Amino acid sequence: MQHGHEAQQGRPAEAHGRPRVTVAESPRASAREVADDLLAAARAAAACEVGSYGRAAERAHAAARALRDTDRDAAAAARLGAALVELGEARRRAGDVRGAMEALDEAVELGRSSADSGGGEAGWLGMAYHRTGVVFDTIGDPTAAVTALRNAIEAFDRSGDDDGVARVRNSLGVVYSRAGSFPEALEHFGASLRHAERAGDRAREAAVSTNMAITTRLLGQHEAAITFAERALAIKREVEPDDAAGATTNLALALAAAGRHDAAANAFAAADVAHERRGDPHDFGEHLRSHAEFLVERGSPERVPDLLARALAAAHQAGSTALEAAVRRDLASYWKSCGEHRLALEQFEAFHDLELRAERALRERAHEEQRWQTEVALARSEAAAAQRERHALAEQFERLVSDHRDLSSRTADLEIAASSDPLTGVGNRRAYHARLAVEVARAAETTRACSVILLDIDAFKEVNDRYGHITGDEVLRGVADALRAAVRASDTVARIGGDEFAVLLPATTCTDAIGVARTIRARIATVGGLSAAADVHVTVSLGVASSDEAAHDASRLLALTDTRLYEAKAAGRDRVVPDGPSRLER
């Protein structure tokens, strides 16, 4: 599980220990001095627990807002812009995504207005874009996150802030790593880490080291991952002892991936306490998912339902649809492994509904932004009475066209990455369910049934335990290759779980699908050398069902197929269920 990337926005490291968040106000203190002191206190409070940070940011914002109401100069605008950035980040950490976006949007507009009115590049504009990108990443919108982060780099470049550019490159690495683009992620992390080392920025060095630990772990470089994780945790304990929760979780994950289970269990227990004390609901939810997965893999699942229930509550508090969907998927997998198919189906349906809602929200947001940009361009065009304004508008239009081309290209790349399984190259769960919905609807309209094959690799855990996870990954790739070779180009192959694959067969009866399943079973059972490191042979259990058996309902079709897969495993594995014409097929 990928967890704990630190999209560190960063600033010069604060003094050791808990920062003070109160301000000593003398009777002679001016409104400007009070506003500046409150803003400094809010920045210091960023290393404290979420509640303290939020209160400090609200005080700084109120003071800056009052000053801006009476003083319209550039300095007052700068105070308000910087205070809005802190307020947006504090609200994000508290789970108030809407409030965070409102504050950050106002900061961006204030920065743009300052530049347009001849006030020069607003120093807070890059930070506002940066924090906006982090919010989009938190709610599971990588395309919008990349766009905002690219805007942040441009703003920092214009103001000559190399430190700001380095911080944003770390956040870009986070987004690319979560999308499975590990080479791009390591490139951005490496540049950010080198800059942090040169600048002596220990806090950012810890954040980037944590992210390097995550990415090298995902690449199977376990010793490197442990080294980076230990380095990050040591620095965190030195300079930010109240903010070491994420680093502790990532050390636990690195130890678990390397097979050091006792050390990992101790690290997870320490991280539980640290996350509860820190109070960031999104990070806490991701940590609880990781802890639950570790217990399942270790064969100690008794605490898993409680951990995932707490993770679900944290997702609701954070307002993160992406996190809630991930927790629902984890719960569905857990209940399925326990044979509780009704509970598993309930969680899967909730997960699928969240995915549909998230995709719809993304489309609506993109449409609204396009409409807004069109209205702004039209208004400026109509108001362009002077040559200088017309020239500025032409340059802006050229930049928008270039940005649109870049965004379209990046969006296409991200969509490809989002629809495929990075290990095997076949489709992933999201792409599979989207395709299934289309084919089931088509089958209902044409009365030509589609069929589904679900298969599990038998005793796959024993392969991992005996030969190691690298060999296990090779076996998964070998099974995926065998599936692709056994089906038509119009069929869909996907990896939908750790050792679970699915095949979608359009315009195929259950009887024909059973024949395909038998071919798959025989092919995999007779193929040797699935791993270059060991002569590994595996078998698979398969469940088959067609849409006309499930009244052309995708959820019922999945439940029926899953039940038959369970029957195949219960009957001794290495078999197809049903092993003959479907009783309900006409």
pLDDT digits (tens, 9 = 90+) for 466-509: 988 899 999 999 999 999 999 999 999 999 999 999 999 999 99
Question: Quick check: is 318 in a domain?
Answer: no
335 falls within a domain: no
* pLDDT at site 232: 92
- Do both 555 and 434 map to the same domain? yes
Distance CA 153, CA 162 (A): 9
Residues 146 and 33 occupy one common structural domain: no
Residue-level pLDDT at 372: 44
Q: Same domain for 508 and 460?
A: yes
Task: Give the tens place of pLDDT for each residue, 342-364.
Answer: 886 787 777 777 776 666 665 66
Is residue 560 very low, low, confident or very high in pLDDT (cuts 50, 70, 90)?
Answer: very high
> 399 and 442: one domain?
no
| 436 and 541 fall within a common domain | yes
Q: How many domains does the chain have?
A: 4
What does the alpha-carbon distance between residue 458 and residue 470 come to, in Å, rounded to a whole number? 18
Contacts of residue 102, defined as CB under 8 A and 6 or more positions apart, other chains included, come to 88
Helices (DSSP H) in 279-386: which residue ranges?
281-298, 304-318, 321-337, 341-383
Distance CA 58, CA 83 (A): 8
Question: Measuring CA to CA, how many Å separate 220 from each of 45, 175, 213, 253?
Answer: 37, 19, 11, 12
- 446 shares a domain with 532: yes
Residue 232 is assigned to a structural domain of this protein: no
As a whole-number percent, the residues of the chain with pLDDT over 90 amount to 35
Which residue in 480, 583, 584, 473 sits closest to 540, CA to CA? 480
Cβ-in-10-Å burial (0-12, 13-18, 19+) of 143 comes to buried
Res. 333: pLDDT tops 80:
yes
Q: What 3 state SS string does 20-73 have?
A: CCCCCCCCCCCHHHHHHHHHHHHHHHCCCCHHHHHHHHHHHHHHHHHHHHHCCC
Q: And the tokens for 106?
A: 């106002």
pLDDT tens digits, 427-442: 999 989 999 999 999 9
> CATH number of the domain that 551 lies in?
3.30.70.270
The mean pLDDT value of the chain amounts to 82
pLDDT of residue 384: 45
Phi and psi, residue 7, nearest 5° = -80, 70
Give the per-residue pLDDT at 21.
38
Res 367: pLDDT? 54
Structure tokens at 540: 């698979």
End-to-end CA distance of the chain: 44
The reported pLDDT for the residue numbered 427 is: 93
| The pLDDT of residue 40 | 85
Using alpha carbons, list the distances in angstroms from residue 90 to 3, 85, 100, 300: 21, 9, 8, 37
Same domain for 567 and 437? Answer: yes
DSSP string, 362-422: HHHHHHHHHHHHHHHHHHHHHH--SHHHHHHHHHHHHHHHHHHHHHHHHHHHHHHHHHB-T
The whole-number pLDDT of residue 19 equals 38
- Kind of pairing between the strands at 451-457 and 500-505: antiparallel
Does residue 46 form part of some domain? Answer: yes
Indicate the angle between helix axes 341-383 and 321-337, nearest 10 degrees: 160
Same domain, yes or no: 481 and 410: no
Q: Of 154-158, 281-285, 372-376, 537-541, where does mean pLDDT reach its minimum?
A: 372-376
User: Is 215 among the domain residues?
Assistant: no
pLDDT in tens, 21-70: 344 444 334 778 887 888 888 788 787 778 888 898 899 888 888 888 88
- In this structure, the number of other CB atoms found within 10 A of the CB of residue 29 comes to 14
Residue numbers of the domain that contains 531: 429-577
What's the pLDDT at 7?
A: 47
* Statement to judge: residues 145 and 114 lie in one domain: no
pTM of the model: 0.46
Mean pLDDT of 137-155: 88
Amino acid identity for residue 183 in this structure: P
Distant-in-sequence, close-in-space partners of 331: CB < 8 Å, separation ≥ 6 = 305, 308, 312, 343, 344, 347
Asked if the model's pLDDT at residue 210 lies above 70, the reply is yes
Residue 469 in any domain: the answer is: yes
| pLDDT at residue 554, rounded to an integer | 92
Contacts of 90 (CB under 8 A, 6+ apart): 42, 46, 50, 53, 54, 56, 57, 58
Q: Which single residue is written with the structure tokens 């400094």? A: 40
Q: At what angle do helices 429-446 and 341-383 cross, to 10 degrees?
A: 100
What stretch of H or E contains 453? Answer: strand 451-457
- The more confidently predicted of residues 177 and 394 is 177
* pLDDT tens-digit map of 86-139: 999 989 888 888 888 899 998 888 888 876 555 445 567 889 999 999 988 888
Q: Tell me how far apart the alpha carbons of residues 400 and 404 are, in angstroms, rounded to a whole number.
A: 6
Per DSSP bridges, beta strands 540-546 and 492-495 are unpaired
Q: What is the pLDDT of residue 132?
A: 92
Instruction: Mark whether 71 and 116 lie in a shared domain.
Output: yes
Closest by CA position to 195, among listed 226, 169, 232, 230: 169
| HSE-up of residue 137 (Cα within 13 Å, Cβ side) | 30
Q: Reply yes or no on whether the pLDDT at 387 is more than 70.
A: no
Sign of CA pseudo-dihedral 177, 89, 292, 430: negative
Report if residue 70 sits inside a domain.
yes
Establish if 405 belongs to a structural domain.
yes
Whether residues 34 and 99 fall in one domain: yes
Interval 156-162 mean pLDDT: 87
> What confidence score (pLDDT) does residue 514 get?
96
Residue 493 and residue 471 share a domain? yes
